[in-house]
Structure 1
Amino acid sequence: MNKALVEQLKENVKYFGATLGETIKDELGNDWLEKIEQIRHDGRHSSKGESESTERLSASLAELDNKSLLTIARAFAQFLNLANIAEQEFNIALNQNATLDNQLNNLHLDIDAVKDKSAVLEAIDKLHIDLVLTAHPTEVTRRTNIHKHRELANQLQKLNGKGLSDVESRAAKQRIADLISQAWHTEEIRSVRPTPVDEARWGFSVIENSLWEAVPDFLRDLEDYLQHNYSKDLPHDAKPVQISSWMGGDRDGNPFVTAKVTQEVLLRARRRAAKLFLEDLNKLYIELSMNDCNDYLRELVGDAREPYRAILRPLIQKLELTFEGRSDESEWIQCNSELQQPLLDCYRSLVDCGMKVISNGALLDTIRRSHCFGINLLKLDVRQDSQRHTDVLSELTQYLDMGDYAQWSEEKKQRFLLEELQSKRPLIPTHWTPSDEVQEVLDTCNVIANNSQAGFGIYIISMASEASDVLAVQLLLQEAGVDWPMPVAPLFETLDDLNNSPEVMDKLLNIDWYLNYIQGQQYVMIGYSDSAKDAGSIAAGWAQYQAQEALVAITDKKSLKLTLFHGRGGTIGRGGLPAKAAIHSQPPGSLDGGFRVTEQGETIRYKFGMPQLAKRSLSLYTTAVLEAMLLPPPEPKPQWREIIGEMANKGRDNYRHTVRKDPDFVPYFRVATPEQELGKLPLGSRPAKRNPKGGIESLRAIPWIFAWAQTRLVLPSWLGVMRAIDEVNSAENQQTVQQMIEQWPFFASRLSMLDMVFQKADPKVSEAYDKRLVPDSLAHFGEALRNELSASMQSLLQITGHEHMMEDDPNARNSMQIRAGYLQPLHYLQIELLDRIRKAEASSYKDDDKAVLERAMMVAITGIAIGMRNTG
């Protein structure tokens, strides 16, 4: 740990906090500032276990009226936001020397003895990292405040830099005070839920404000490494990184994502891309004023005195028409080649005329952006539940008097689908009037047919369980007129679906028509959220591993390229892991077809929200993927498989016994967490439940995780896991288990995940929620859970030989400790609010009082999520 930087981080947090304090004092007066400071002081000592401070903190909050609680909630949520900004700057400073070149050179030293240069070059050539921005409702911070936070980070970076004059320092501090005041006087909670289009626009902003700059900078670093170590240039069309999105395309369980929304998002993406390329082209137009050109360019421009400007001018005009969006769409830029060819012509001419230094400047960055982003900005995935496709075919076959498709056997479904896929006549009658739900699915397929292939990624089928689920989508796409082979990826997400996935894919890949359709590449999505919710984290993790392993073997036999798409969340309970640990915990060979992964909610901002952070994240992914390709993790030994299999089975049984079988679980969950209140928080466009009338089983994985994180019990991430490990880690197995920890990244990563979870867990905070909110009849349940949590924490320390949590990652441990004092008041404030809200619902509270309470609750929920650095 860099002690100087850690001290700087602490000073930055204090400085931000003091500046916020001055802002609050200016508005509310010194008495309010002293009150907040006393609560902060008690919170800090309470987080260290001082019972007197805890009692004083709870009593202080109980004395405040509803509006005052809202003010306190806002103050501490703002404190935590500012702490996060300070930590972002800390991470950038900490990793200044962790350049891509340094990381890859260190990697090269490791592999030099066993791999030759051609292997490294081949791995880099195969490198393909596809980051899929998702619209899951985990981003709790409004876009308007994200802008202020980014500017704050810039000013802090300036302030911490060397060589700043007194005048410049005062100006930076003044700007910081200005921005903090702006944030304090701005509503931190959205008044209404964002629409899917709003979410897509947020995704576009991440590209515009960060990735647009970070991607070419990252590629320059990669090329520098290749030139320095291998005397190789990175090809102009190299695309080791691709940006995709679910925002506006993920309609699974979200009735607000319609065909019209998808069409609007596609058009908005094109216009945003046009805007960004227009800015690039206008700068190039100013710079490329030279008159020397090669013969080819001269033929194109005739006697134009400034040939490069002459080539760029028509392109700029097309981009202007596209960005304005007012002209006929046929006048817009239509394909990537229209953008790329003039740029390449300029590049080659400059090289031919001895101006390579110019060609390798801003022009090369724009060429590389054209390959990464293109005129569509990103590739939009479409996701839909398998049942919706079944419903279309069921309604259609009944209309055609063919019977009910939904009731047919799998064999009959496949036979029908293959016959229709190879038929030359249309299946869907012209005058058929389907139900609204069926029409919506058909309309989505029509949107795909009516837009460019370049604007789409893949079609994902949720809850896929049979080969017919994949064939059904391909038939519907064909009927809509999609004349290109859109990749269709089954998503295997429950424990049963993961276990059955090899059999399903084996059957699918034995269909000759299908093999011809996919043209040598198969996509499969692995679900992390629902499998963990279904069976607990260790059972889900082992099922995911085995499924990937089997799928790699199946596709290898068929000589197919397999791209596994990892539906990881930001949190541990949804499959979240640091990039390197996540990548190295996968089976050997699973990265050969590329690495595709979801980036969700607040993790997008923490990893890609600023150009420096985005570039660092891209470098981390690259190094980890290359290392895993060149030095794949070992295949698990038979005894490892036996032991982890037994742990997984016991973990599944432990988890399900509590979550599914204990009659007290659901009643306890409802009262001990703010699960009910979460539904009122306008986080994302999706409903909190797939089925609004359903119970715990229909709750989405995100609010399921979110609710437990709020109370610091973080139950889904650890429940039953260490108990299962302890049961299997008997005297005769201990040596093998230690071997698994030391030699098998998959198993080591399971323990690393628990280490992070337990650092964030706090049994005492959970107990405080129970004391105030849980009836005596259910008190035993929470106590039993906390006993298991405490025992699990001790057990993990014992098996790892550590003295405390996060011993191997002192920076992460320090990060949580810095936040602890600010988080503690929010937890006790939330407890007070939950008690008042629930009493208000059972009494005759005025609507105004309820509104204030609910807003205070939303701010408290948001603040805790910010402080925990994760929501769902």
Structure 2
Amino acid sequence: MRPDPARDRSDNVRANLRLLEGLLAEVIDDLDGEAAAGLLEEARRAGEGDRLADLFQGLTLDQAVFLARGLAVQAQLANIAEDVAGLRAPVEIGQAADEARIATLSAAVDALTYNGLDRDEIDRLMRDLQVSPVLTAHPTEVRRRSVVERQFEIARLLGLRRHALPPDLDQRLRDDLFRELALLWRTRLTRPERITVADEIRNTLAIVSNAMLPALAELYESWGRQFPSGPDFGKVLQLGSWLGGDRDGHPGVEAEALREALTLQARLIFGFYLTEVRRLREDLSLAAELTPVSDALLALAEASGDDNPHRRDEPYRRALVGVEQRLTVTMDRLGGTRFGGQAEAYAGPDAFIADLEVVAASLLAHGGRRVVGSRLASLIAVAKGCGFHLLSIDLRQNADVHERVLAELFGHAAPGLDYRDLDEATKVTVLLGELANDRPLRSPFVAYTPETLKELAIFDAAAQALSAYGPRALASYIISKSDSVSDILEPYVLFKQAGIAFGGMKPTSRLPVTPLFETIGDLERAPGIIAAWLAMPQARSLLGDPARQEVMLGYSDSNKDGGFFTSRRAATQAAQALAQVCEDAGVALRLFHGRGGSVGRGGGPTGQAILAQPRGAVRSRIRLTEQGEMITRRFGDAPTARRNLEELVAAALVASGKGRAAGEGDDDRFAPQMDALAAGAFAAYRGLVYEDAAFEAFFWSATPIAEIADLKIGSRPPSRGASRRIADLRAIPWVFSWSQARFMLPAWYGFASGVRAAGLSAATLREMGQGSDFFATVLSNMELALAQSDMDLAGQYADLFPDPTARARIFDAVRREWEAACELTLAVRGATRLLQLQPEVADAVALGRVRVDPLNRLQIELLARRRRGEDDARLRLGLHQTVSGIAAALRSTG
């Protein structure tokens, strides 16, 4: 009988879970007593449905809090059991052939060769490749860092038991697991206070330090061996961040946050460089009398000032002593340390790289590539990719803030000019006039408002960062809520106040500006706005030589604005149109995809999403956001980080070759059908969410949005202002709330209505799924969301809304749309149940359902008590723990 990898994996998951839950029961019995352990076991035996509801209704608050905690921890342990079982070879976890083909860079090259591209074309694509995952300051990670660290250690220990062990070692591992579970059981699951920006920076940099940076170094070294004549891989894959730079609606991000982020990043990367240089110094004990060295290497050794007699005839070691001393002094200057030293600081990372390349060149000339070794080659690649800044930080602010600040600056500099009252054409004229001269608008003799002072301080800090860390320390300046050419021009005028931009007939800028188009309407208008901007002579000098323009596409707010399918379609159409606009203007385009973790915010498998981009939209350059719990899931340990980073680069390379092979056509052959579907889906979604007068109240009653808003999962508020309006709510809590209540509404609502409005048959949809990468990806993501939703449980959440007439109308509409979406998906798949063609995914969803359903029922009970007016601190704690547990079981927040 042929082995079934998916079934083997499921068996391994269940074996892992039996061990972990058995040990957890022992922990609870030891620490809390037999009765406590019995209550959790009683909940497990009650199973589901009415028996479970009856048990929960009779709980005291203390019992409810205990059970919420117990069920949440069990959900986390189920994830660990599944993750450890899934750390086997891709073939063992049922990975599809198409996915395996692009999992590595070498596989991507093979795929392009198979598709008909010659090696010269592939080499050119690789040389141009620029891929950057950007870690954002949109935290959706419910778990505290302390909890995550305990889970990592439990996973590590559990992984050691995959092989048969002698009885004494096996018992030792069980004891170690018991201890870790006891620590987890006694660790708070949620935060008592909202974390600060500094906390977010430190938490994320811990993942970068422990996993992403080692993975990056391994990838650079591996790619260098596989493609010895390839590009500088340190420039192919670079890490980005919004931490300390994203101040859109965030009062806590000020100039000091930017400085702190850069300082902490510098300390981290300098620590890495110093460790690697010291290891190289220990390795390279080559004696001058036994091997020749280059003149440049001798000069570097002499310049080091190292007169240690034991190293007198070891020029490589002497040279690296000098490199180490210069690094230490440079770190002292940039990282705020106090080591001191007499050596000359490096002016920038290029000087450090040059010294390393002197060492490498000498070894290469007098020993060959294999003598150079992987450590030195990897270190040079990391230095090229990370410089002295480690992560390239984006700054982000809302266009409305720029307008207010400029209005104040103009009001003092040119009395009588009210910038906010000007029409678009006049604004553009005024802004271009400012860019035509070097005169600043700001004055040291004017008392500006706090908002203006804060913004000017940010620009000053940005200018200092560019000077201290180099031009790549800041990647871009992103404008939220962009909807006009004046929105693009305004930051350049503000840059001028800090010496980031310089005026004149051909104004220039040290920092590029990236407009972010977020709503459906903004995405539709984006190509026209960019075309008008690029037609301006000033744009060419501001964009540099060669001219490059980055544009960011927002998936989260466009989804909240117009629904799942319409959002995806609008983003894809914008990408395709923007690519053509930039090609016509002779400007290189880089698209920045603002994706969230969940399907309702543009999430889903990253490689699949990149491959689904329209022809010509990637062109070797792509950035995309990585948010919240997805940072931990995709990059939380070095092997996982390496796998996901390489898949990202491989997919970008394959997508860049899309449409280049002879005879390869456009996969968007169904534009009229998809446009009609998008229009119908938009009308249905808007009709429910924004045009039904009772829907907003339904949302606040039938989901735990109020409780999520009270959770301390991030440093920024859940809404822009104090409003309860859906339009003002951030996309993360919007999606998070529907996921908790098992509606998953943002990930599918409107699709079935769109199909009906467009008059599309199942056969046509099937043909679209086979002929369009975009449609196939949308359908796959939607199917997963439908499988994770549960309308019976959602109906119990809906019962929390006190208006019976509105409740029946709204929930009936939701349920009908869900049933229709399920029927369409099954018809297209030719299946009888959701995820039938993806058994390993179906099994994972089923395992999650066993954990999440009891948590949902307990949450419903606690919400009902709170809706009745109970307001006890224990009730709030229990609710927060159910939120944490449901997020773990679904592996999704926002």
Residue aligning to 2:516:
491
Residue aligning to 1:552:
579
Closer, same or farther in 2 for the Cα pair 1:641/1:361, shift >3 Å? closer
Of the three residues 776, 781, 784, the one matched with 1:748 is 776
Residue aligning to 1:372:
385
Could you tell me how far apart the structure 2 residues matched to 1:169 and 1:358 are? Answer: 42
Please report how far the alpha carbon of residue 868 of structure 1 lies from its aligned counterpart in structure 2 after TM superposition. Answer: 0.8
Please report how far the alpha carbon of residue 821 of structure 1 lies from its aligned counterpart in structure 2 after TM superposition. Answer: 1.4
Closer, same or farther in 2 for the Cα pair 1:655/1:294, shift >3 Å? same
Structure 1 contact 241–372 (Cα < 8 Å) conserved: yes
Residue aligning to 1:151:
153
TM-score, normalised by the number of residues in structure 2: 0.91
Structure 1 contact 561–593 (Cα < 8 Å) conserved: no
Please report how far the alpha carbon of residue 26 of structure 1 lies from its aligned counterpart in structure 2 after TM superposition. Answer: 1.0
1:275 aligns with 2:271: yes
Q: 1:794 is paired with a residue of what secondary structure?
A: helix
Please report how far the alpha carbon of residue 109 of structure 1 lies from its aligned counterpart in structure 2 after TM superposition. Answer: 5.5
Structure 1 contact 458–486 (Cα < 8 Å) conserved: yes
Could you tell me how far apart the structure 2 residues matched to 1:164 and 1:634 are? Answer: 56
Residue aligning to 1:4:
8
Closer, same or farther in 2 for the Cα pair 1:653/1:329, shift >3 Å? farther
Structure 2 contact 801–807 (Cα < 8 Å) conserved: no
Of the three residues 707, 718, 728, the one matched with 1:698 is 728
Closer, same or farther in 2 for the Cα pair 1:546/1:329, shift >3 Å? farther
After TM superposition, list the pairs within 5 Å mapping 1:218-367 onto structure 2: 218-226=219-227, 232-235=228-231, 238-292=234-288, 293-302=293-302, 304-320=312-328, 322=331, 325-327=336-338, 334-354=347-367, 356-367=369-380
Closer, same or farther in 2 for the Cα pair 1:621/1:209, shift >3 Å? same
CA deviation profile, 1:780-835 (whole Å, cap 9, x unmatched)? 02233223212321222113322221233222211111121111111111111112
Structure 1 contact 318–332 (Cα < 8 Å) conserved: yes
Please report how far the alpha carbon of residue 648 of structure 1 lies from its aligned counterpart in structure 2 after TM superposition. Answer: 0.8
Could you tell me how far apart the structure 2 residues matched to 1:720 and 1:812 are? Answer: 24
Could you tell me how far apart the structure 1 residues matched to 2:782 and 2:101 are? Answer: 29
Residue aligning to 1:76:
71
Q: What is the identity, as a one-letter code, of the residue corresponding to 1:762?
A: D
Residue aligning to 2:757:
727
Q: What is the identity, as a one-letter code, of the residue corresponding to 2:833?
A: H
Structure 1 contact 489–524 (Cα < 8 Å) conserved: yes
Q: What is the identity, as a one-letter code, of the residue corresponding to 1:251?
A: R
Please report how far the alpha carbon of residue 6 of structure 1 lies from its aligned counterpart in structure 2 after TM superposition. Answer: 2.3
Please report how far the alpha carbon of residue 110 of structure 1 lies from its aligned counterpart in structure 2 after TM superposition. Answer: 6.5
Please report how far the alpha carbon of residue 437 of structure 1 lies from its aligned counterpart in structure 2 after TM superposition. Answer: 0.7
Please report how far the alpha carbon of residue 685 of structure 1 lies from its aligned counterpart in structure 2 after TM superposition. Answer: 0.5
1:90 aligns with 2:119: no
Q: 2:475 is paired with a residue of what secondary structure?
A: strand
Q: What is the identity, as a one-letter code, of the residue corresponding to 1:610?
A: D
Please report how far the alpha carbon of residue 482 of structure 1 lies from its aligned counterpart in structure 2 after TM superposition. Answer: 1.4
Could you tell me how far apart the structure 1 residues matched to 2:732 and 2:596 are? Answer: 9
Residue aligning to 1:625:
652
Could you tell me how far apart the structure 1 residues matched to 2:360 and 2:113 are? Answer: 36
Of the three residues 569, 581, 594, the one matched with 1:542 is 569
Structure 2 contact 234–382 (Cα < 8 Å) conserved: no
Closer, same or farther in 2 for the Cα pair 1:824/1:109, shift >3 Å? closer
Q: 1:679 is paired with a residue of what secondary structure?
A: helix
Of the three residues 658, 665, 681, the one matched with 2:695 is 665
Please report how far the alpha carbon of residue 168 of structure 1 lies from its aligned counterpart in structure 2 after TM superposition. Answer: 3.3
Structure 1 contact 528–567 (Cα < 8 Å) conserved: yes
TM-score, normalised by the number of residues in structure 1: 0.93
1:514 aligns with 2:539: yes
Could you tell me how far apart the structure 2 residues matched to 1:741 and 1:440 are? Answer: 50
Of the three residues 799, 821, 827, the one matched with 1:792 is 821
Residue aligning to 2:637:
610
Of the three residues 581, 595, 611, the one matched with 1:584 is 611
Structure 1 contact 495–534 (Cα < 8 Å) conserved: yes
Of the three residues 674, 678, 681, the one matched with 1:644 is 674
Residue aligning to 1:420:
434
Residue aligning to 2:203:
202
Q: Which moved more, 1:672-681 or 1:419-428?
A: 419-428
Structure 1 contact 564–593 (Cα < 8 Å) conserved: no
Please report how far the alpha carbon of residue 308 of structure 1 lies from its aligned counterpart in structure 2 after TM superposition. Answer: 2.4
Please report how far the alpha carbon of residue 424 of structure 1 lies from its aligned counterpart in structure 2 after TM superposition. Answer: 2.7
Residue aligning to 1:50:
none
Closer, same or farther in 2 for the Cα pair 1:164/1:314, shift >3 Å? farther
> Taking every aligned residue pair, what percent have the same amino acid on both sides?
30
**How many residues were matched structurally?**
847
Structure 2 contact 125–620 (Cα < 8 Å) conserved: no
Closer, same or farther in 2 for the Cα pair 1:600/1:271, shift >3 Å? same
Q: What is the identity, as a one-letter code, of the residue corresponding to 1:503?
A: G
1:433 aligns with 2:461: no
Structure 2 contact 103–647 (Cα < 8 Å) conserved: no
Could you tell me how far apart the structure 2 residues matched to 1:55 and 1:332 are? Answer: 71
Closer, same or farther in 2 for the Cα pair 1:109/1:547, shift >3 Å? closer
Please report how far the alpha carbon of residue 700 of structure 1 lies from its aligned counterpart in structure 2 after TM superposition. Answer: 0.5
CA deviation profile, 1:724-747 (whole Å, cap 9, x unmatched)? 11332446xx65443211111111
Structure 1 contact 88–606 (Cα < 8 Å) conserved: no
Residue aligning to 1:479:
497
Q: Which moved more, 1:323-332 or 1:856-865?
A: 323-332
Please report how far the alpha carbon of residue 472 of structure 1 lies from its aligned counterpart in structure 2 after TM superposition. Answer: 0.9
Closer, same or farther in 2 for the Cα pair 1:467/1:478, shift >3 Å? same
CA deviation profile, 1:247-304 (whole Å, cap 9, x unmatched)? 1111001111112211221212112222222222232232223234332211222383
Q: 2:257 is paired with a residue of what secondary structure?
A: helix
1:181 aligns with 2:192: no
Structure 2 contact 513–550 (Cα < 8 Å) conserved: yes
Q: 2:497 is paired with a residue of what secondary structure?
A: helix
Could you tell me how far apart the structure 1 residues matched to 2:141 and 2:494 are? Answer: 34
Q: Which moved more, 1:805-814 or 1:101-110?
A: 101-110
Residue aligning to 1:859:
881
Q: Which moved more, 1:172-181 or 1:200-209?
A: 172-181
Could you tell me how far apart the structure 1 residues matched to 2:245 and 2:859 are? Answer: 35
Q: 1:129 is paired with a residue of what secondary structure?
A: strand
Structure 2 contact 103–646 (Cα < 8 Å) conserved: no
Closer, same or farther in 2 for the Cα pair 1:724/1:133, shift >3 Å? same
Q: What is the identity, as a one-letter code, of the residue corresponding to 2:147?
A: N
Closer, same or farther in 2 for the Cα pair 1:263/1:159, shift >3 Å? same
Please report how far the alpha carbon of residue 634 of structure 1 lies from its aligned counterpart in structure 2 after TM superposition. Answer: 4.4
Structure 2 contact 599–781 (Cα < 8 Å) conserved: yes
Q: What is the identity, as a one-letter code, of the residue corresponding to 1:831?
A: I
Could you tell me how far apart the structure 2 residues matched to 1:209 and 1:127 are? Answer: 26
Q: Which moved more, 1:266-275 or 1:384-393?
A: 266-275
Structure 1 contact 100–221 (Cα < 8 Å) conserved: no
Residue aligning to 2:506:
none
Could you tell me how far apart the structure 1 residues matched to 2:458 and 2:164 are? Answer: 57
Q: 2:836 is paired with a residue of what secondary structure?
A: coil
Residue aligning to 1:707:
737
Please report how far the alpha carbon of residue 448 of structure 1 lies from its aligned counterpart in structure 2 after TM superposition. Answer: 0.7
Closer, same or farther in 2 for the Cα pair 1:328/1:109, shift >3 Å? closer
Of the three residues 29, 32, 48, the one matched with 2:33 is 29
Could you tell me how far apart the structure 1 residues matched to 2:597 and 2:115 are? Answer: 36
Residue aligning to 1:815:
844
Closer, same or farther in 2 for the Cα pair 1:345/1:173, shift >3 Å? farther
Residue aligning to 2:666:
635
Please report how far the alpha carbon of residue 637 of structure 1 lies from its aligned counterpart in structure 2 after TM superposition. Answer: 5.6
Please report how far the alpha carbon of residue 454 of structure 1 lies from its aligned counterpart in structure 2 after TM superposition. Answer: 2.8
1:455 aligns with 2:484: no
Could you tell me how far apart the structure 2 residues matched to 1:634 and 1:774 are? Answer: 54
CA deviation profile, 1:162-185 (whole Å, cap 9, x unmatched)? 464444333332222221111111
Residue aligning to 1:229:
none
Could you tell me how far apart the structure 2 residues matched to 1:106 and 1:272 are? Answer: 32
Q: What is the identity, as a one-letter code, of the residue corresponding to 1:490?
A: P
